[in-house]
Amino acid sequence: MLAAQGPQGGTLPLEPFKERGASITPAYEGWFANPDGSFSMLLGYYNRNSKEAIDIPVGPNNKIEPGPVDQGQPTHFEIGRQWGVLVVKVPKDFGKKTVTWTITANGETQAIPFSLHNAYNIAPMKEIGMLNEPPKIAFTQGGPKFQGPPVATATTLTGKVKTPVAITMWVEDPKGRATEGGRGRGPASIANVSLHKYRGPGTVTFDKPRLPVPTQGAQISANATFSEPGDYMLRVQANDESGEGGGGFQCCWTNTYVKVTVTP
């Protein structure tokens, strides 16, 4: 069975991409403790197709067990490795039990169990060596800031089919450069934000799927256009200069969700 089994590199599939027809494998970023004594498991996935994003409804082909089949997992699977898109909470007495995410794509099933093994304990809110922290995203100026693994819907928007809906954000990186001339001279941006379809009945097109954040607290915006009416969930991810997946340290990036209700 192939999977990403932990923060130390794990056993991600090594076979090359196919354009189409390949499987999707759940990936384990690791677990962390919550203040109330429960634990959170941070999950991502790896779609081995280089040109085939796949929609898989919650059900027999996309389920998390034990508990409700629908635990907030994506139903739209983008190509490549997607980091830390989902948190599954388990109680403080979870012990040596496992949570299993099963994904069947193109006729191939990958069912990967995740546990609270000590080797997979991570610190997604602060990298221990450099004390780095994830970027913060707000969806209203001066409003609530979201940081680290996704825990709730950050904002709710409405729109109409085939009419652009603006996604506006204010982004800062607590440990990043104040300006280009600050810590770690190099890229002009202090962070980069990407937008993704997470759930929904139709196609979502972004005019700017990736946006640089030029300065601390900068306002950035992108438009999302929806092909069909219905309820959608978008994923907004912010990466600091450590890059995708935090350079393998499971810190420091932020994922959060935006709900959009689209009418005809």
pLDDT tens digit string along 67-81?
999 999 999 999 999
Query: How far, in Å, are 13, 73, 83 from residue 150 at the CA level?
Result: 25, 11, 11
Contacts with 212 (C-beta within 8 Å, 6 or more apart), sequence order:
187, 188, 189, 191, 192, 193, 220
Collapse the DSSP code of 21 into the 3-class scheme (helix H, G, I; strand E, B; otherwise coil) and give the result.
coil
The neighbouring-strand residues paired with 230 are 262
Burial of residue 37 (CB within 10 Å: 0-12, 13-18, 19+) is exposed
Q: What is the pLDDT of residue 44?
A: 96
- Cα dist from 28 to 83, 101, 116, 190, whole Å: 9, 10, 11, 27
Does the pTM surpass 0.75? The reply is yes
The rounded Cα 4 to chain-centroid distance in angstroms is 15
pLDDT single digits (tens) 135-193? 999 999 999 999 999 988 999 999 999 999 999 999 999 877 554 444 444 456 899 99
pLDDT digits (tens, 9 = 90+) for 116-136: 999 999 999 988 777 889 999
Confidence of residue 260 (pLDDT cuts 50, 70, 90): very high
Position 61 pLDDT exceeds 60: yes
Whole-Å CA distances, 47 to 44, 107, 113, 240:
10, 14, 18, 23
**What is the radius of gyration, based on Cα positions, of the chain?**
18
The answer to whether residue 2 scores a pLDDT higher than 90 is no
Average pLDDT over residues 17-23: 85
Q: From 43, 44, 91, select the one nearest 67 (Cα to Cα).
A: 91
Alpha-carbon distance 237 to 56, whole Å?
21
pLDDT value at position 6? 40
Q: What's the CA gap between 156 and 261, in Å, rounded?
A: 8
Q: Which amino acid is at 21?
A: G
Contact 159, 165 (CB under 8 A): yes
Q: What is the pLDDT of residues 183-231, one digit of tens each?
A: 444 456 899 999 999 999 999 999 999 999 999 999 999 999 999 999 9
